[in-house]
């Protein structure tokens, strides 16, 4: 085999070196993030801004027990007061009221008012979804409670920023997925005891104090809710009368545990 001429050897060496210096394939980078202290401050501002609110929404639900579509008016004073009044074709089909330690579901067509020791039992009976009242109220405005904010911890090794927190007084954990650049909340994974569900915002909700959802999907293996926001505005200090539910005469009062 004849040796290659010196100029060909030199040309081959230069070609190899130039190939090594050429453009390299792009490397996937982690999203640009803000310091956790700044993120916590923004979430705290949101939480303080949305201490209470009033909303008009459309709700669709699907579960093994029921499918429904209603319009609803919601009034909330966080953390423990919520009124959810559903109507269809101009008629009230049900009113859920949670007022600190009292929970009532009134269904006019059945002339019955249900009581339960746990608010999520009434939500499950009426809407087919097992969500505690405070978690439902906060999900509608994409707002974290102060104890959740205090326990926030970033989850390392993720291509998107995930934040994990819990509630010390109950067996619950929350994982929030934030957009690249940490400008909005995209979704949340919620575990409450052995129950799991997701909250998905379409589009993602801005972390600015005034940012609020447009469409929210609550999804579990057993049920799903879709909530579309028509109107939503902060309302601090709604009157106590909004969370009282006068029961008309002749209405049966039923302990929900007795019918399940």
What CATH code is carried by the domain that includes residue 191? 2.50.20.10
In 3D space, the residue among 179, 227, 235, 229 whose CA is nearest the CA of residue 207 turns out to be 179
Domain count, the chain: 1
Is residue 19 assigned to a domain?
no
Q: Shortest CA distance to 143 belongs to which of 72, 46, 220?
A: 46
The verdict on residue 113 lying in a domain is: yes
Higher pLDDT, 156 or 138: 138
Q: In whole angstroms, what is the distance from residue 64 CA to residue 62 CA?
A: 7
The single-letter DSSP state of residue 139 is H
DSSP letter for each residue of 35-65: -HHHHHHHHHHHHHHTSEEEEEEEEEEEESS
Q: Indicate whether 17 belongs to any domain.
A: no
Q: pLDDT class for 11, splitting at 50, 70, 90?
A: very low
Show the domain range for 49: 36-255
Q: What's the alpha-carbon Rg for the chain, to the nearest Å? A: 26
Report yes or no on 31 lying in a domain: no
Residue 26 forms part of a structural domain: no
At residue 28 the predicted structure's pLDDT band, cuts being 50, 70 and 90, is very low
**221 occurs within a structural domain:** yes
pTM for this prediction: 0.83
Residue 130, SS3? coil
Q: What one-character DSSP code corresponds to residue 182?
A: S
Is 168 domain-assigned?
Answer: yes
- 94 part of a folded domain: yes
pLDDT tens digits along 93-119: 999 999 877 899 999 999 999 999 889
């Amino acid at each position: 085999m004849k040796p290659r001429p010196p100029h060909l050897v030199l040309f081959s060496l230069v070609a190899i070196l130039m190939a090594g210096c050429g453009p390299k394939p792009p490397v996937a980078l982690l999203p640009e993030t803000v310091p956790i202290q700044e993120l916590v401050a923004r979430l705290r501002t949101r939480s303080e801004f949305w201490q209470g609110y009033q909303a008009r929404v459309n709700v669709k639900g699907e579960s093994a027990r029921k499918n429904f579509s209603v319009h609803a008016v919601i009034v909330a004073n966080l953390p423990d007061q919520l009124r959810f009044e559903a109507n269809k074709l101009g008629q009230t089909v049900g009113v859920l009221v949670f007022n600190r330690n009292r929970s009532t579901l009134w269904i006019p067509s059945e002339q019955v008012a249900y009581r339960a020791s746990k608010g999520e039992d009434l939500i499950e009976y009426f809407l087919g979804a097992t969500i505690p009242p405070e978690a439902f109220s906060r999900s509608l405005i994409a707002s974290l409670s102060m104890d959740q904010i205090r326990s926030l911890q970033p989850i390392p090794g993720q291509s998107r920023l995930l934040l994990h927190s819990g509630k010390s007084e109950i067996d619950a954990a929350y994982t929030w997925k934030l957009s690249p650049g940490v400008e909005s909340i995209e979704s949340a994974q919620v575990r409450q005891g052995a129950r799991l569900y997701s909250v998905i915002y379409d589009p993602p909700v801005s972390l600015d104090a005034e940012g609020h959802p447009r469409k929210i999907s609550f999804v579990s293996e057993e049920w799903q809710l879709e909530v579309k926001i028509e109107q939503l505005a902060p309302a601090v200090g709604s009157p106590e009368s909004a969370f009282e539910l006068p029961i008309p005469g002749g209405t049966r009062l039923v302990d929900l545990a007795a019918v399940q």
